[in-house]
Amino acid sequence: DAGVIQSPRHEVTEMGQEVTLRCKPISGHDYLFWYRQTMMRGLELLIYFNNNVPIDDSGMPEDRFSAKMPNASFSTLKIQPSEPRDSAVYFCATTLAGVSDTQYFGPGTRLTVL
């Protein structure tokens, strides 16, 4: 298996622009998590899905952030409009319920908002 795939790996944008981060989970995994990692706040859970349905989005910092999972093979995290404080590494992770509780992470997207 190719593992969790994220794109792009790096994104540099200007304040006010829309940013879309993408994630392809491991085939068959039914839970998908979006995290944000910064030096100041460490690793934060933003939102997670089970069988494509958002279960808990209480970690989403504000309305500028939205996430979707239109099917079992694809999820997006969108920031609109972006701000410099959104600069961080964004991770997608997936797991298969009832097997091992282990989350497998993608390589992350490093976002820089100028």
Question: What residues make contact with other proteins under the rule CB under 8 A?
Answer: 31, 33, 42-43, 45, 48, 50, 56, 89, 91, 93, 95, 97, 100-105, 107-108, 110
Smallest gap from Cβ 47 to other proteins, in A, equals 11
Give the C-alpha distances (Å, rounded to integers) separating 17 from 1, 75, 80: 34, 20, 7
**47 phi, psi to nearest 5 deg:** -160, 155
Smallest gap from Cβ 79 to other proteins, in A, equals 19
Smallest gap from Cβ 56 to other proteins, in A, equals 8
Q: Quick one: 38 or 80, whose CB is closer to other proteins?
A: 38
Q: How far is residue 17's CA from residue 35's CA, in Å, rounded to a whole number?
A: 21
Instruction: Count the neighbouring beta carbons within 10 Å of the beta carbon of residue 49.
Output: 22
Q: Quick one: 71 or 100, whose CB is closer to other proteins?
A: 100
Give the C-alpha distances (Å, rounded to integers) separating 77 from 14, 68, 100: 17, 7, 26
Q: Quick one: 3 or 16, whose CB is closer to other proteins?
A: 3
Smallest gap from Cβ 89 to other proteins, in A, equals 6
